[in-house]
Amino acid sequence: METAAATTPWLSKTLHAVASTGSLRAAAAAINIHHSTLQDRLAHAEHLLGWPVRTPQGRLRLQLALAMRHLARP
């Protein structure tokens, strides 16, 4: 996740919005982008991460990865 976030400036903010909202439309609204732009970003993010973030299991994995990333920072 660190490598993907370092090479893609919008990744962290986008994934945080997806993990912390109830729907993709709400996530798009939270970061002030169109929902189709969010879909494109998520397709790119899933390619970089190697797992789907739009499934329930993928969303849980995303939430855990973001929590671990937050805890690992000083």
pLDDT at residue 66, as a whole number: 94
pLDDT at residue 4, as a whole number: 85
CATH class of the domain at 2-72:
mainly alpha
Assess contact for 8 and 72: CB atoms under 8 A.
no
pLDDT at residue 51, as a whole number: 94
Q: Print pLDDT tens along the chain (74 aa).
A: 888 888 899 999 999 999 999 999 999 999 999 999 999 999 999 999 999 999 999 999 999 999 999 999 87
Using CB atoms within 10 A of its CB, is residue 62 exposed (0-12), middle (13-18) or buried (19+)? buried
Strand extents, DSSP E, 28-68:
none
Q: What residues does each domain of the chain span?
A: 2-72
